[in-house]
Chains A and B, each alone.
Chain A
Amino acid sequence: MANDSVLGRLTDAAPAIELRGITKSFGAVEANKNISLKVSKGTIHGIVGENGAGKSTLMSILYGFYKADAGEIFINGRKTPIPDSQAAIAAGIGMVHQHFKLVENFTVLENVILGAEDGALLKPSLAKARAVLVDLAREYELEVDPDQTIENLSVGHQQRVEILKALYRQADILILDEPTGVLTPSEAEHLFRILKNLRDQGKTLILITHKLKEIMNATDTVSVMRRGEMTATVKTADTSPGELAELMVGRKVLLRVDKKPAATGKTVLEVRDLKVKDSAGVERLKGISFEVCAGEILGIAGVAGNGQSELLEVLGGIASASGSVRINDHQLDLTGRYSDGQSRRARGISHVPEDRQRLGLIMDFMAWENACFGYHHDPKYQKNPLMMDNGAILADTEQKMQRFDIRPPNPRLPAHSFSGGNQQKIVLAREIERNPDILLVGQPTRGVDIGAIEFIHQQIVALRDAGKAILLVSVELDEILSLSDRVAVMFDGRIQGERITAETDEKELGLLMAGMNVEAA
């Protein structure tokens, strides 16, 4: 029944949204090239594409965040210029951003009315919003405590506040940018229930994602973007994940990594009852224990924010902790003088951090200055006890650039002028070429183009085959499954379960990621 009405609406005359010839460039980069798109009223339309394909830019134009260089926007068949977000809101468009635009120390109500207040005084607006929220919660399964401050809400609930904000402004068209990136599988399921609910009430939804599974499950129609262009728009029922992947990348993709079975040796890293508190005193790691052996990759899976970052920071010497960590039977200092990054490196730990632009690189430093970053004490980079040997570092960097195919191979360029993939290769080259006993690597392919992903995966596997221990943290379950030999799933600062990769599957790991207790098979 419901399905029939959806299909009926697909053929309606005036589309809810129509874009004609949208073009936008940032300096020399053409983010959107002559893009046209029609989305019918009362449907869920997916937009897929790789990082940097131009999805977010396109939606920011639709939301009035950027002004297009050329092109027209039609809402419900009427030409509607959208010079700013206010115009978008007036046209009935709402947006749920990937990074929530919430004021963390405001309550839910305050966030909902911000910018949509009814008068100069807050009291009446707050009262009205309270009433509206009750209605919306009942209608769309969007329950959330209106008086709670945002920082005390779970990520899933914060996202509901974003949706409520849009609905409070009476949005008919809702754009969601990578909405599941921070959600557990069960939270994501709930979200999609809400979205279908909204669609059945006549709302139009645009779902931006790079996860093909979500597209297949949740959308009615789908468009594919590649390098700023819209390469196809099809009915979801008429396509397959394989076809979409090919359209996204422009060629057949190897989704699995070729690797030999692991030849594990002795235990390199042994973690016992590790606990970490953040600066606000909240416990982020609640006593975790695991080990990693030589010649194996241990993957840490989990939804972002469940303690993986803290784990890497402790092992990498950025944060202090309590508990016990042993490397090659040597007890590490977790709080004192020798708990810093230098001491960790001296113990044979290399660390490719999750956020390379914030931690792994100095963006204004030249490539060669970055290539010795963290190892600037190494005797081979010193001319004498006081001076660094810049010539030696330059030569060393040139070699690294060659071996890791870093482009452009110019060590004198600042880090910010390299692409994401090449930046990551600079970090990887630096850390892998140290020949560490254990490599910590976080989100190795985030924001990296497909070509570089394969290369980076090969390098990690090669290091494993050379008998090194590797601790891999990734929020991409596919990446975890294709690289690691064992998987530990983190949830709420604990290890929820540990599995041999070959003996588990996505479904089981998904349940663990959601905090369910699953008996090992």
Chain B
Amino acid sequence: MELTETFLQLILTLDMTVRLSVVLILACLAGLFSERAGIVDIGLEGKMLIAAFFSAVAAYHSGNAWIGVLAGIAASMTFALIHGIASIAYRGNQLISGVALNFLASGLTVVIGNAWYKEGGRTPPLAGEARFSEITLPFADLIRDLPVIGPLYADVISGQKAIVYLAFLVVPLTWWVLFRTRFGLRLRAVGENPASVDTAGISVNRQRYAAVLIAGVLCGIAGAYLATSQAASFGREMTAGRGYIALAALIFAKWRPFYALMACLLFGLLEAISNLYPNIDVFGIFSIPVQFTQALPYILTVVILAGFIGKAIPPKASGEPYIKER
């Protein structure tokens, strides 16, 4: 009895972990593309936020969640392009550009949201086709009753929303693109030693723009997931620092796709725990305050960045604008 109860809790926690880690995975891979090409992207947060807003708006008015995703991607790519222009064409400080875009996103979403819907920045709730629904994988109901495997397949692996599966597919895809294609070779070269690409007669800037825009697409999907899958409308500051946590996960993963997946699942698990068990009782002696469990993902981010994980060496040229030497 006790055991099955615990097991059900575990299934519930794992299911939530998967749901919550999707945003982190997509954002983390976005950061991976960008930083592997030498552009530091602290603006993952802002891109996701603006994408979440416009995807909610588009989904609401069109009644179609996929149109919402496209709108989110478009909004996020616009921000990515601004970041690209600032840091590639005008050799600006990439940190400052990212921070500015984050502020711009938190301001714009509320200003526009208020002007259009007058609900304190919220967008109207999404229902029906405007939201993604859960996809039941084949045989889910059939094997549900099998011990362990059954619930794991039926409730954790099956029954997720489309973007969840997409996110988990993007991980191997990212690996393949980076390490098996010409595009990936050049992208990594640009992040390590842009001069090597430049002397080969290939545009460093074009390669970097491509990477930044891919980051825009992935953040767009992440933001759309927040507003149309995880929640059912846009709410102000709904990204809640996940863009920064994704960056910490990226460092933790040492800029490698599969490690990034693991790191994001870990953070997702943490968030799931703090959502499911806000008041953890320690042997009935005292209960951990809810504020602490809420702050737990942030605290762990700091702990991980403190480098109790070995040394993380970023791509050599990351953060440096490329200027031909004289």
Contacts and interface: CB of A to CB of B under 8 A. Distances in A.
Interface in B204-243: none
Contacts of A65: 198-199, 324
Contact of A85 (B180, B192, B198, B326): B198
B200 interface: yes
Contact of B201 (A88, A104, A123, A125): A88
A26 B326 contact: yes
A86 B201 contact: yes
B200 to A, nearest CB: 3
B316 interface: yes
B201 A114 contact: no
Interface stretch (A94-102, A266-274, A361-369, A421-429): A94-102
B180 A116 contact: no
A77 B169 CA distance: 55
Contacts of A26: 326
Q: Name which of B192, B198, B200 has the most chain A CB atoms within 10 A of its CB.
A: B200
Given A88-B201, A103-B188, A116-B200, A122 B193 contact: no
B201 A85 contact: yes
Interface stretch (A105-113, A308-316, A334-342, A469-477): A105-113
Given A65-B324, A106-B189, A114-B189, A101 B181 contact: no
Interface string B270-303: 0000000000000000000000000000000000
B197 A115 contact: yes
Given A104-B192, A121-B180, A85 B200 contact: yes
Contacts of A214: none
A84 interface: yes
A363 to B, nearest CB: 14
A101 B201 contact: no
Contact of A102 (B196, B198, B202, B326): B196
B195 interface: yes
A116 B202 CA distance: 10
B165 interface: no
A158 to B, nearest CB: 12
A122 B182 contact: yes
A117 interface: yes
B183 interface: yes
A97 to B, nearest CB: 7
A274 B195 CA distance: 36
Contact of B199 (A85, A87, A120): A85
B205 to A, nearest CB: 12
B206 to A, nearest CB: 12
Range class of the B interface residue count: 20 to 34
B185 interface: yes
Interface in A62-110: 63-66, 84-89, 95, 97, 101-106, 110
A104 B180 contact: no
Nearest to A85: B201
Nearest to A97: B199
Contacts of A103: 188-189, 192-193, 196
A115 B198 CA distance: 9
Nearest to A118: B182
B186 interface: yes
A103 B185 CA distance: 10
A120 B189 contact: no
A119 interface: yes
B199 A104 contact: no
A129 B183 CA distance: 18
A86 B182 CA distance: 17
A43 B199 CA distance: 24
Given A89-B201, A106-B189, A114-B189, A101 B196 contact: yes
Chain B interface mostly helix, strand, loop or mixed?
A: helix
B195 A117 contact: no
B115 to A, nearest CB: 45
A89 B200 CA distance: 8
Contacts of B189: 103, 106, 114
Nearest to A89: B201
A119 B183 CA distance: 10
A104 B182 contact: no
B196 to A, nearest CB: 4
A119 B182 contact: yes
B181 to A, nearest CB: 6
Contact of A120 (B183, B193, B197, B202): B183
Contact of A114 (B180, B185, B326): B185
B192 A114 contact: no
B185 A101 contact: no
Interface in A1-35: 26
A273 B287 CA distance: 59
B195 A101 contact: yes
A105 B201 contact: no
A115 B201 contact: yes
Contacts of B200: 85, 89, 101, 114-116, 165
Contacts of A116: 200
A437 B189 CA distance: 47
Contact of B181 (A66, A97, A122): A122
B196 A120 contact: no
B326 to A, nearest CB: 6
B185 A117 contact: yes
A80 to B, nearest CB: 15
B104 to A, nearest CB: 30
A115 B192 contact: no
A87 B202 CA distance: 11
A63 B189 CA distance: 20
A111 B180 contact: no
Q: Name which of A66, A95, A117 has the most chain B CB atoms within 10 A of its CB.
A: A117
Nearest to B176: A121
B262 to A, nearest CB: 22
B181 A114 contact: no
Given A85-B200, A86-B202, A121 B193 contact: no
B180 A123 contact: yes
Given A101-B193, A105-B192, A95 B199 contact: yes
Interface in A121-165: 121-123, 125, 165
A119 B180 CA distance: 11
A115 B200 CA distance: 5
Contacts of A105: 192
Nearest to B315: A105
A115 B326 contact: no
Nearest to B184: A122
B199 A121 contact: no
Contacts of B188: 103, 106
Q: Name which of B180, B182, B188, B326 has the most chain A CB atoms within 10 A of its CB.
A: B182
Contacts of A113: 185
Given A95-B199, A97-B199, A121-B180, A104 B185 contact: no
Contacts of A89: 200-201
A86 B200 CA distance: 7
Contact of B180 (A101, A115, A122, A165): A122
Contact of B196 (A64, A66, A88, A111): A111
B33 to A, nearest CB: 17
- CB-based closest 3 A-B pairs: A115-B200, A86-B201, A85-B201
Given A66-B324, A115-B201, 8 more contacts: A65-B199, A87-B201, A102-B193, A104-B193, A114-B185, A114-B189, A116-B200, A122-B182
18 contacts: A63-B199, A64-B201, A65-B324, A84-B201, A88-B201, A89-B201, A101-B196, A101-B200, A104-B316, A105-B192, A106-B189, A115-B197, A115-B201, A117-B182, A120-B183, A122-B181, A122-B182, A123-B180
